[in-house]
Amino acid sequence: MKKILLGGMLLAVAAATASWAAEGMMTPAPLHARAVEFREAWNRHDAKALAAFWTADGDLINPFGRIAKGRAAIEKLFQDEQTGIMNGTTFTIVGDSDREIAPGVAVADWDVEITGMKGPDGAAMPPLKNHVTVVWVKRDGNWWAAAARPVMYPPPPGKPM
C-alpha cells in the first residue's frame, strides 16, 4: 500500500512539474546560471563584472537606499561597496526562483546572505540577510538585469531580530 501511495505521489509531482514547465513557471536554467555568475563576480569583488549584468539603462537600488541608474553609475556603486563595507565579503544565494512573465521578460527572487562585513571599528558584523528581486530582459539571446531591488525586511513588530 505504501508503494502505491508513494508511486501516486511521485506521479502527481511529475504531472505538476510538467504543467508548471508548460506554463513557464519553472526556473529557467539560464537565469539560475546568471545568478551563479553574479555570485562569483561578487566574491571576486569585481565591480566592472557586477555592473556588466545590467542593461545600459538599467537601475539598482541597494539595500541601504542608494540609487544607481545606468551601467556606469551601477559600476560606481559596486566599486564603492566592494572597496568599502563589502570588501572581503562572501555573497551566498540561499534560495532563488525565477519565472518568465512574458516572452523575454523574467523576474528572479533571490534570498541572499552576505558574510564577512566589518563595522567602522573593524569588528565583525553579523551576516546581512536580504531579498533581491531582479527584472531580467532577454536581448540578443542573453539575459540582462533591467532593474534590481535588494531589500532587508524588518522583523514583525514585537519580534526580536
Topology of domain 28-151, CATH: Nuclear Transport Factor 2; Chain: A, (3.10.450)
Distance CA 29, CA 144 (A): 14
In this prediction, residue 25 carries a pLDDT of 40
Mean pLDDT, the chain, rounded, equals: 85
DSSP state of 23: T
What is the pLDDT averaged over residues 27-35?
Answer: 84
In this prediction, residue 159 carries a pLDDT of 73
> Residue 121 in contact with residue 87, Cβ under 8 Å?
no
pLDDT digits (tens, 9 = 90+) for 60-86: 999 999 999 999 999 999 999 999 999
> Residue 40 in contact with residue 51, Cβ under 8 Å?
no
User: How many residues appear in the chain?
Assistant: 161
Tell me the pLDDT band of 49, cut-offs 50, 70 and 90: very high
Q: Exposed (0-12), middle (13-18) or buried (19+): which is 129, by Cβ within 10 Å?
A: middle
